[in-house]
Structure 1
Amino acid sequence: MMQENSNLSVLIIDPNPGMRSNLQNMLNLTGISKVEYAVNAGTAIRQLARRSYDIVLCEYDLGGGGSSSNSGAGGGQDGQQLLEDLRHHRLLSPWAIFIMLTSEAVYGKVIGAAELAPTDYVLKPFTAETLGARIARAIERRAVFLPAYQMVAQGKVLEAIRTAAALEVAQPRYALDCARLQAELRASLGQHAEAEYIYRKVLAYKPLGWASLGVARAEFAQGRIQQARDTLQGLVAANPRLMAAYDLLARCHEAAGEHTQAQKILEEAVAISPHLVRRLRKLGEVALEAGDAQAAEKSFKQVVSKARYSEFRDPEDHVRLVNALVRRGDMLAASGVVRDLERSMRASPELDACIGVANAALHDAAGNRDAAVLGLTNAVAAVRTSTTLSTGLKVGLVRSCLEHRLDAPAQDVMLAVVNDAGSGVTSQDALRIFTDAGRRDLADGMSQQLKAQAQILLGVADEKRNMGDVRGAVQTLLEALHMAPQNLQVMIAVAGGVLRQINELGWDHPLGELCLAQLEKIRAVDAQHPRLGPLMEEYAAMRRKYGIST
């Protein structure tokens, strides 16, 4: 074991030089000598962005020392906030071992760390033997799953699923973990019915909280919101500290338009695990939707405070807090938040956009229309060169522009949102925003622009197909479908292009489902269309060719 450990690389994240030295000595006793250090969260993020480590040992309390401005009493991120950032921004590989070290007696912090799924956590004080045993156990498990993880990293998800299925038989000790990995990978491919089947098989063997949560996620993804809600209510009753169940239950209530109930569920979750920044942010957003500006203010203040030392600090959190304060009529505090935003974050288009939106909200509340228009104009200019602003902020900017009759800026921003396939906003959503604002004229104009863009993309797809790039042709067709989802010509082109790719490159489940959905839409629009019959026959032939059950 000592010889095997000699190749392992470790990052120790701890502000205390004495503890760093002790940990290195403990690691040396287990044969690990490739050790590097980070004294705070910011240093750790920069190091993990440059290279990967086999093992990360992270002290929970990162505010206890060090020379950085991000450390010291009361400053900097703690280990849980760091882990949240690392997970969210994918700076930890799936096979990295992350062990949290803590002497904290506060249960909320321990459960907070646990819900972010570190590989393990070790309570101080501990011996070299204890740490070595935990590392050995983690390495053993990683060795079993490493082939599947590496296939996922290479984009070979179906191969990874087959590997996990084989491991389930070959490694009965890890059978449940293998089943869980298969289900999660199926879900990542959009195969939610298949994922649900695996989770239910696990539950038939053993009542496990993660399997019930997986069933609920599959139900929600398939649009069975009430069933998901029922599953989650039973799950929370049986497992009151399974925090992700609260988050999904709140989403179920949101989907039903029950914002007050969603707020209540998230408040229960925050009371149990009060430190997860993204849950606090979601609670603030839901509270605003429910009309509870006071609760929204409380949540957003915590988000701004907790995220202050994050390397990924989001200026939109200040905008959210400004909106809550404006709703409450506390203009003085809202102005202070804008000033803090201006002086505490480095210059960027995202910052400029957020300052513009926040100032517009302030001036609107004060009745200063000209100053509000100037803020919106500045925000629109900044949005054009930004890369990380949320869809929510951009859509809110569109609505504000419409309220102030800034027609061209509203259309420009909305077109950019629709053209971004990752925004989740369809052309139908965009047109509805204009129509709801009483601007049917702008909706019609945008509809014509989107149709023209879709027509151009159909031509680009034809060129790619003629050059033999069937995969690229399908991607372009999907962009056209995003812009014109009700266009019959686009539906037919998408179905034909997908079938061509499947024929040449093999069955792809999400694309197969998409193709079937387009065929059903074509049937609904024109059941007698001459291309519908041949496309349906070709779709059935592809399923037979690849042995896909109906």
Structure 2
Amino acid sequence: MQENANLAVLVVDPNPGMRTSLQNMLGLAGITKIEHAVNANTAIRQLQQRAFDIILCEYDLASGAGEGQDGQQLLEDLRQHRLITPSTIFIMLTSEAERDKVVSAAELAPTDYLLKPFTVELISTRIKRALDRRGALLPAWQLAAQGRLREAILACANGAQAQPRFAADLARVRAELHTTLGEHAEAAAVYRDVLAERPLGWAALGLARTLLALGQGDDARAILEELLATNPRLMAGYDLLARCLEADGEPALAQSVLADAVAISPHVVGRLRKLGELALATGDMAVAETSFRQVVGKARYSAFRDPEDHISLVKTLVARGDLLQASGAIRDLERTLRAAPGYDACHAYANALLHDKTGNSGAAVAGLQNAVSAVRANNALSSGLKLELARACLAHRLDEQAAGVMLTVVNDASSGVSPDQAMTVFVNAGRTDLLDHMDQQLKAQAQILLGVADEKRNMGDVRGAVQTLREALHLAPRNLQVMAATAGGILRQINELGWDHPLGQTAAGLLDGIRAQDAQHPRLATLTEEYQAARRKYGIAAT
């Protein structure tokens, strides 16, 4: 038990007697570095300050208090906000026998879960099993955390040979690393190899996910339908199948699939939120209201409450014509989320929706203007809500405000919104007259970023220069000057710092794009030779 002496454990349980009992059990297992949390918010504060090797978390965290997050909701928050790493051992403790709660806890992939009462021997055995698995996967996880994904993939292969009992776990990590690199075909091959050995649900799910990324939606859908027919409690399968159906333009079927999932496992906030969004899109306001009310209620005690959930509820109530309840939702937003990031914009936009429904156009316009000002002051809203706000501004002829919101979206390279998608908002609103102005602003900003990249390169910050060049490329993806500058910057980084597969692929794609637009471009031949020379230098085989 000496090997357990350095393990740091966080026990999350509201019951002082159970905390004492767990401390005694852990002590008998040789674990003495133990801290306690009485509820989810206390646990989050402790995890924000330091890392723990093991978290032992009671499912019913509201025990005795009647309010607060449960263990499943805490785990969902920890994963979503990355307060725990893949190597953190999270064991759920519960005396709950209700099927839906056990499913909800299990589907969020805790390392293990224990049903009370349990013995010292049982908890010791489960911890040892979890530590053995972590030890096998840790080299790959550490390399991945350092950005050394190629070496992490190799570590998975070597680990599978050294410790074959963890071969499936290592294959899973290897496939996920390929996916991170954008190598979906390679990831699919790993999943197929696993499935050839035995029919593991996660492998079938991973294969479906990679096929969807490869544009083979029909094949992905067939795998998921068969998987759920034989394993109806594999909850992530419902989520992915709904994504397939939504991508195929079948939102009503996607909504039906998620409704089935919620009936089995009704406590996952992210799924409830998505069900509400689909119901809102299909016009099923009753389901949308029910879903968003549950989201607001279940997230009430989360340290990461999102005021956008209130917006969704207000939007649904307004669409149903229930203005009294909509006003109540806005008052609840005011009472409970005034200090939250994005509150000012959400509050202003919620009031604008309400005033628009009552026909008070002047107050609606004032609300939209206040929302835009809040977005400019604090860029905390999601891209989806910003796009919605821009559309509302266009509907009220607030052209400058709409353009300003769209620029905040496009300027954020992590938003997932391309300039073309942003332009589509203006096209769909019948405002093609605003396109040239937006295009000129984006090009001007891209030029500024090219200058910033030059300064970084001159100061020896090669990686920083490439990052800035990629930001410029995001703003002007078909601008030949930006494309050539980005390709050149990437090749310079590769030559100085070593081959980077994703960057190499980006450079190759940029050269193909330049060639397609202007085969006689003055830098194309030189850049192509630099690219081929870099491949030869690092022994990269031709594909």
Q: How many residues align?
A: 542
SS in 2 for 1:22: helix
CA distance in 2, matches of 1:400, 1:292: 22
Distance change in 2, residues 1:179/1:412 (3 Å): same
Which of 87, 102, 111 lines up with 1:110 in the alignment? 102
Cα-to-partner distance string for 1:511-549 (whole Å, 9 max, x where unaligned) = 222222222222322234343344334333333333334
The alignment's TM-score, normalised by the length of structure 1, stands at: 0.95
Residue aligning to 1:334: 326
CA distance in 1, matches of 2:51, 2:511: 45
Instruction: Find out whether 1:52 has 2:12 as its counterpart.
Output: no
Which of 232, 236, 240 lines up with 2:232 in the alignment? 240
CA distance in 2, matches of 1:222, 1:545: 30
CA distance in 1, matches of 2:216, 2:540: 24
Cα-to-partner distance string for 1:360-410 (whole Å, 9 max, x where unaligned) = 111111111011011111111111222432111111111111111111111
Cα-to-partner distance string for 1:159-195 (whole Å, 9 max, x where unaligned) = 2222221111111111111111111112122222221
The alignment's TM-score, normalised by the length of structure 2, stands at: 0.97
SS in 2 for 1:104: coil
Query: Please, which moves more after superposition, 538-547 or 127-136?
Result: 538-547
Residue aligning to 1:402: 394
Residue aligning to 1:40: 39
One-letter identity of the residue aligned with 1:11 = L
CA distance in 1, matches of 2:456, 2:130: 47
Cα-to-partner distance string for 1:94-138 (whole Å, 9 max, x where unaligned) = 221111001111111111111111110000111111111111111
SS in 1 for 2:226: helix
One-letter identity of the residue aligned with 2:210 = A
SS in 2 for 1:10: strand
One-letter identity of the residue aligned with 2:23 = Q
| Alpha carbons 1:293, 1:328 under 8 Å: kept | yes
Residue aligning to 2:136: 144
Matches within 5 A, 1:251-400: 251-348=243-340, 350-400=342-392
Residue 465 (structure 1) shift: 2.7
| Alpha carbons 1:349, 1:385 under 8 Å: kept | no
| Alpha carbons 1:360, 1:374 under 8 Å: kept | yes
Which of 503, 507, 511 lines up with 1:519 in the alignment? 511
Residue aligning to 2:430: 438
Query: Please, which moves more after superposition, 382-391 or 293-302?
Result: 382-391
Residue aligning to 2:203: 211
Residue aligning to 1:426: 418
Residue aligning to 1:16: 15
Query: Please, which moves more after superposition, 268-277 or 143-152?
Result: 143-152
Cα-to-partner distance string for 1:2-56 (whole Å, 9 max, x where unaligned) = x222222211111111111111111111111222111111111111111111111
CA distance in 1, matches of 2:264, 2:532: 51
CA distance in 1, matches of 2:528, 2:223: 36
CA distance in 2, matches of 1:418, 1:317: 23
Instruction: Find out whether 1:477 has 2:469 as its counterpart.
Output: yes
Residue 470 (structure 1) shift: 2.3
SS in 1 for 2:342: helix
Residue aligning to 2:405: 413
One-letter identity of the residue aligned with 2:47 = L
One-letter identity of the residue aligned with 1:50 = Q
One-letter identity of the residue aligned with 1:60 = Y
CA distance in 2, matches of 1:330, 1:272: 30
Q: Which runs of 4+ in 1 moved over 6 A?
A: none
Matches within 5 A, 1:449-464: 449-464=441-456
Residue aligning to 1:496: 488
| Alpha carbons 1:168, 1:178 under 8 Å: kept | yes
CA distance in 1, matches of 2:5, 2:459: 50
CA distance in 2, matches of 1:349, 1:228: 38
CA distance in 1, matches of 2:275, 2:299: 15
| Alpha carbons 1:349, 1:382 under 8 Å: kept | no
CA distance in 2, matches of 1:92, 1:431: 38
Residue 349 (structure 1) shift: 5.2
Residue aligning to 1:153: 145
Residue 348 (structure 1) shift: 4.5
Distance change in 2, residues 1:363/1:124 (3 Å): same
Cα-to-partner distance string for 1:474-532 (whole Å, 9 max, x where unaligned) = 11111111111121222222222222222222222222222222222223222343433
| Alpha carbons 2:306, 2:340 under 8 Å: kept | no
CA distance in 1, matches of 2:111, 2:342: 35
| Alpha carbons 1:85, 1:312 under 8 Å: kept | yes
| Alpha carbons 1:191, 1:509 under 8 Å: kept | no
- Structure 1, unmatched stretches of 5+, are 66-71
Residue 238 (structure 1) shift: 2.6
